């Protein structure tokens, strides 16, 4: 699934700070914009790596991706989505019926429950349609801000926040974009630093750099031009 490509715009303090997030200095916003431009140039095709064709499929794939790799989720979901083609099909099944399709993933029992319960609520309270607001998405089992941001940004092209997974959190701290460990705190920092229209693609870019250069172990510090410009470790 390709995310919509949005051309980078010059950052300004007002464009980011009016959009929410933590207040940042003009210099910090300008530095963030330079980093965004460098990442956009390096990874022009950055996009969501989870496979989906319907909104509820990305919601489910994201619920399943907690503590699991996108590759592992993409191996599990084709059979799952074929067996249960609509939210209603998931809702009328039981968690036990979903379990065999997700057993290769961590926390599969809890995830099967979350998938079933979230699709039950989508069916009963949202007329079978994935809701389009942060508040409504957060009422679904297994959905926190990260999952809601994935759905809002990639399905509906709405930049309500920034997806902060382990890669984004690690990169944000290493590159001096946030000092926080808590993902929501990191998100507030990123929202204050980057232009709102770039929030969705920003997480894809940071994930690309995290996977290819700034890995959790064995970082390629000092060998990379973006790192040399933006990270004190280089
Ligand atoms: S210099 Fe090292 S720690 Fe910093 S972003 Fe690059 S790979 Fe990561």
CA distance 177 to 44: 21
Ligand 1 atom closest to the Cα of residue 233 is: 1
- How is residue 143 written in tokens? 């959905």
CA distance 49 to 113: 24
Taking a C-beta distance cutoff of 8 angstroms, is the pair 42, 36 a contact?
no
Taking a C-beta distance cutoff of 8 angstroms, is the pair 76, 105 a contact?
yes
Specify the pLDDT at position 14: 40
Q: Tell whether pTM > 0.95.
A: no
CA distance 92 to 194: 42
CA of 217 to the centre of ligand 1 (A): 11
Which residue's CA is the closest to the ligand 1 atom numbered 8?
Answer: 214
CA distance 24 to 157: 25
CA distance 24 to 32: 10
> Is any ligand 1 atom within 6 A of the Cβ of residue 66?
no
Cα dihedral 89, 95, 97, 103, rounded to 10, equals 120
> Is any ligand 1 atom within 6 A of the Cβ of residue 165?
no
H helices present in 18-85, as ranges: 26-42, 55-64, 70-83
List the catalytic residues.
Answer: 146, 165
Structural domains in the chain?
A: 1-234 (1.10.340.30)
Specify the pLDDT at position 37: 98
Ligand 1 atom closest to the Cα of residue 224 is: 6
pLDDT of the chain, 234 residues: tens digit per residue: 434 333 344 334 444 444 678 999 999 999 999 999 999 999 999 999 999 999 999 999 999 999 999 999 999 999 999 999 999 999 999 999 999 999 999 999 999 999 999 999 999 999 999 999 999 999 999 899 999 999 999 999 999 999 999 999 999 999 999 999 999 999 999 999 999 999 999 999 999 999 889 887 766 777 889 998 998 787
Taking a C-beta distance cutoff of 8 angstroms, is the pair 56, 231 a contact?
no
The residue whose CB lies within 8 Å of the most ligand 1 atoms, and thus the one to mutate among 39, 169, 211, 221, is: 221
**Is the sign of the CA dihedral 27, 207, 150, 170 positive or negative?**
negative
CA of 219 to the centre of ligand 1 (A): 6
> Is any ligand 1 atom within 6 A of the Cβ of residue 233?
yes
Q: Tell me which DSSP letter residue 198 carries.
A: G
Specify the pLDDT at position 21: 86
Specify the pLDDT at position 17: 46
Specify the pLDDT at position 204: 97
CA of 216 to the centre of ligand 1 (A): 10
> Is any ligand 1 atom within 6 A of the Cβ of residue 219?
yes
Ligand 1 atom closest to the Cα of residue 221 is: 2
CA distance 186 to 225: 24
Which residue's CA is the closest to the ligand 1 atom numbered 2?
Answer: 221
Specify the pLDDT at position 26: 96
């Amino acid at each position: 699934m390709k995310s919509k490509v949005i051309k980078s715009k010059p950052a300004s303090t007002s464009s980011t700070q009016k959009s929410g997030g933590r207040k940042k200095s003009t210099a910090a916003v300008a530095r963030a914009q330079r980093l965004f431009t460098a990442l956009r140039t390096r990874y022009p095709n950055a996009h969501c790596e989870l496979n989906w064709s319907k909104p509820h499929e990305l919601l489910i794939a994201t619920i399943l991706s907690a503590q699991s790799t996108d590759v592992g989720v993409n191996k599990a979901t084709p059979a799952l989505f074929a067996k249960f083609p609509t939210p209603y099909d998931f809702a009328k099944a039981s968690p036990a019926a979903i379990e065999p399709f997700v057993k290769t993933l961590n926390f599969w029992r809890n995830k099967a429950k979350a998938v079933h319960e979230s699709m039950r609520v989508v069916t009963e309270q949202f007329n079978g349609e994935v809701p389009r607001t942060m508040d409504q998405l957060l009422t679904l089992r297994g959905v926190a801000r990260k999952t809601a941001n994935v759905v809002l940004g990639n399905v509906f092209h709405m930049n309500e926040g920034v997806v902060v997974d382990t890669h984004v959190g690690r990169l944000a701290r290493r590159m001096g974009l946030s000092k926080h460990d808590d993902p929501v705190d990191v998100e507030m920092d990123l929202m204050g630093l980057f232009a709102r229209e770039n929030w969705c693609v920003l997480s894809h870019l940071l994930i690309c750099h995290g996977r290819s250069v700034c890995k959790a172990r064995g970082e390629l510090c000092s060998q990379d031009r973006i790192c040399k410009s933006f990270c004190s470790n280089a």
